[in-house]
Amino acid sequence: MPTIYYLILSFALFLIGTTGVLLRRNALIVLMAIELQLNGGNLALIAFSRQLGDLKGHVFAFLIIALAAAEAAVGLAILVGLFRGRQTVNLDEITLMKR
Amino acid sequence: MSVLFPDGASAGDVVVFWILAAMVAFFAVFTITRKNPVTAVMSLVATFFGLAAMYATLSAHFLAVLQVLVYAGAITVLFIFVVMILNREEVTPLSFRPLRVLGVLAGVYLFVKFVDVVAVGMPTVVPATPSDTFGTVAAVGDLLFRDFLYPFEAISILLLVAIVGGVVISRSHQKEVAANLAADYRKQVHELASHDYPGAAEEPAPEGHH
C-alpha cells in the first residue's frame, strides 16, 4: 500500500486519542488515549521509514515505545497515589492547583 | 484503480491493509467510548495487536514483535493492575464542555485538511520493496548501538528514573503516618510523666533484670 494510506490512518489514530484526552474524565481512559496518540506517531514514523528506505525511523519508534512504557509507569503511579488521597479518578474533581 | 484499490498494490496487500485499518480504528474508538475500564483495556490490546500486524506489513519485523511484547504485554498488564486497584464505577463517562468539543471539532477539521494536502503532495505509488534485512533485529540493533548509542543510553536512564519515580510516588504513606502518631503519643506521655514526677527516671527499668 502507498505510504499515504498509513499516514491518514496514523492521523486518525492520533485524532481518536486526542478526542479521548479531551472528552473523557476518567484519568485511566485518558492515559489509554495518550497511548493511542503515541501509537499514531509510531505508525507514521514506520510508514515514512519504509517510504525512504531508512531504518532511522525504526530507531525513533523504538525510543518512543520505551518512552511510552516510562510514561505509563509514572502516570499510573500518580493515579494510584491520587486515588489513595482523594478517592477519585475524575479529572474534573482534581482541582488542587486551580485555586 | 480507485481510492480503495491503489495502482500497483497486490490484492493481498490491499485486503490485509483495509482489514487491519478497520480493526485498529474500530477498537481505538471502542477504547475511548467504553464505560467499563476493563473493556477499554481489552480493546486497547486489540488495537495494539492490529498495529503490530500493520508494522509487519510495513516490513518492521522487530518493531512488530516489540509492539506485542511491550505494549500488549507489559503496559496492558500495568493498566489492568491499576484498574483492579481502583475499581471505580464511572459516573460521568463523557463531559461535553464547549471548549473541549471545539477542540475536537478543530482536530477533525485539521484531519480533513490533512487528507487533502497529503493527497496532493505525497507519491501514491507503492514504495519499492526494501531489502530482506530491512527492519530485522540485526539491522535495527546495528543502527541502535552504533549511531544511536547515546539516545539509547539516555532512554535507559529515563526508564530507570521512571521506575524509581513510580515506586516513590505510589508508595503507601500509612506506616509513616502511624509512626508519627505513635511518636507524638510517646512525647505526650513523657511530658505528662515528667510533669507529675519531676525526679523520676526517663525510662522505667525493665522488670526481671537485676
Interface test with B, best of A3, A14, A22 (most B CBs within 10 A): A22
Q: For the whole model, what pTM was predicted?
A: 0.84
Confidence at residue B193, expressed as pLDDT on a 0 to 100 scale? 86
Higher pLDDT, B1 or A88: A88
Partner residue opposite A29 with nearest CB, options B28, B40, B130: B40
Cα B96 off chain centre by: 25
User: Cell numbers at residue A21, please?
Assistant: 484526552
User: Cell numbers at residue A77, please?
Assistant: 503511579
Confidence at residue B64, expressed as pLDDT on a 0 to 100 scale? 93
Q: Residues of B with CB below 8 A from A88's CB?
A: 88
Dihedral (C-alpha) A42, A43, A44, A49: value to the nearest 10 degrees? 90
**Which residues sit opposite A26 in a β-bridge?**
A90
B143–A42: do the CB atoms touch at under 8 Å?
no
Q: How far is CA A83 from CA A24, A90, A94, B172, in A?
A: 17, 10, 10, 11
Give A81→chain B minimum CA distance, Å. Answer: 5
Q: What is the CATH architecture assignment of A3-93? A: Orthogonal Bundle (1.10)
Confidence at residue B106, expressed as pLDDT on a 0 to 100 scale? 92
Q: Dihedral of CA A80/A86/A92/A98: which sign?
A: negative
Confidence at residue B172, expressed as pLDDT on a 0 to 100 scale? 74
Partner residue opposite B100 with nearest CB, options A5, A22, A32: A22
Q: What digits encode the pLDDT tens for the residues A73-86?
A: 999 998 888 888 77
Q: Residues of B with CB below 8 A from A30's CB?
A: none
Partner residue opposite B111 with nearest CB, options A3, A12, A17: A12
Cα A67 off chain centre by: 10
Confidence at residue B125, expressed as pLDDT on a 0 to 100 scale? 74
> What are the φ and ψ backbone dihedral angles of B15, each rounded to 5 degrees?
-60, -45
By residue count, chain B amounts to 210
Give B32→chain A minimum CA distance, Å. Answer: 5
Confidence at residue B173, expressed as pLDDT on a 0 to 100 scale? 72
Q: Provide the residue type at B42 as one letter.
A: M
> Could you count the other beta carbons within 10 Å of the beta carbon of residue A83?
19
Q: What digits encode the pLDDT tens for the residues A18-60?
A: 999 999 888 889 999 999 999 999 999 999 999 888 899 999 9
A50–B17: do the CB atoms touch at under 8 Å?
no
Q: Provide the residue type at A62 as one letter.
A: F
Among candidates A44, A88, A90, which has minimal Cα distance to A64? A44
Higher pLDDT, A36 or A96: A36
Query: How deeply is B201 buried, as exposed, middle or buried, from its count of CB atoms within 10 A (0-12, 13-18, 19+)?
Result: exposed
Interface test with A, best of B15, B35, B62, B63 (most A CBs within 10 A): B63
Enumerate residue ranges in chain B where pLDDT < 50: none
User: Is the pLDDT score of A93 beyond 90?
Assistant: no
User: Cell numbers at residue B146, please?
Assistant: 552504533
ipTM: 0.92
Return the domain boundaries, chain A.
3-93
Partner residue opposite A29 with nearest CB, options B29, B37, B118: B37
Residue B119 contacts by C-beta under 8 Å, 6 or more apart in sequence? Answer: A4
Q: What digits encode the pLDDT tens for the residues B26-84?
A: 999 999 988 888 899 999 999 999 999 999 999 899 999 999 999 988 999 999 988 88
Give A97→chain B minimum CA distance, Å. Answer: 18
User: Is the pLDDT score of A91 beyond 70?
Assistant: yes
Q: Name the DSSP class of B67.
A: I
Confidence at residue B89, expressed as pLDDT on a 0 to 100 scale? 64
